Amino acid sequence: MKIAVYPGSFDPVTNGHLDIIKRSAKIFDKVIICILNNSSKKSPLFSIDERVNMLRGVVSELDNVIVDTSDGLLVDYAKEQGACVIIRGLRQIADFDVELQMAQGNRLANPDVETLFMATDPKFSFISSSMVREFMNYGRTVEGFVPDEILPILREKIGGH
Ligand code: PNS
């Protein structure tokens, strides 16, 4: 069974994330979305539980996708789960430097786990969770940026439109 881990902060999940998840689910027998709790990013907008609930809601129709969390190293988590692949989406060239460094660091830590990059669909390449949070901060709509199902949760969080 080929298991892939799709890691991230998902603060919150975007349509770009969801597209990568759906495409990965067609390739792998099982895809584990892992919300990392020890990311260098401080002060997340959404708690881990909120992020888990949002993600579980948006992947509920995908039978081979599960949502989990970890506060360890990503490669250790992948090994524990029997995953052979870490999936990362690449939106634009700016992502590449940081992603390459992370993939090479992870490879050094565990050469049995491969990092595979998936090119983001161009229609989502400008979307990031930080842009969503910024728009929400200023009360602007994030419709089209995130799955429709989570719009009410985002609105409730900070009263955006
Ligand atoms: O969606 P993000 O915030 O870009 O995801 C970054 C994430 C969570 C994948 C990365 O920070 C991570 O892997 N954190 C777990 C800790 C770890 O394994 N660090 C070593 C990376 S070389």
Q: Where does 37-160 show beta strands of DSSP type E?
A: 65-70, 85-90, 114-119
- pLDDT one-digit tens code per residue, 10-38: 999 999 999 999 999 999 999 999 999 87
- pLDDT one-digit tens code per residue, 97-134: 999 999 999 999 999 999 999 999 999 999 999 999 99
pTM tops 0.85, yes or no: yes
Q: Which one of the listed residues 41, 56, 123, 161 is annotated catalytic?
A: 41
Residue of 148, 117, 139 lying closest to 12 (CA atoms): 148
Contact 98, 41 (CB under 8 A): no
- Does residue 56 have an active-site annotation? no
- pLDDT one-digit tens code per residue, 70-80: 999 999 999 99
Q: How confident is the model at residue 159 (pLDDT cuts 50, 70, 90)?
A: low
- pLDDT one-digit tens code per residue, 34-67: 999 876 677 899 999 999 999 999 999 999 999 9
Ligand 1 atom closest to the Cα of residue 76 is 18
pLDDT recorded at residue 39 = 66
Tell me the average pLDDT of the chain.
Answer: 95
- Does residue 41 have an active-site annotation? yes
**137 burial level (CB within 10 Å; 0-12, 13-18, 19+):** exposed
Output DSSP code: residue 110: -
Site residues for ligand 1, CB cut-off 6 Å: 7-9, 36, 38-39, 41, 73-74, 102, 105-106
Of 39, 46, 104, the residue with max ligand 1 atoms within 8 A of its CB, to mutate for a pocket test, comes to 39
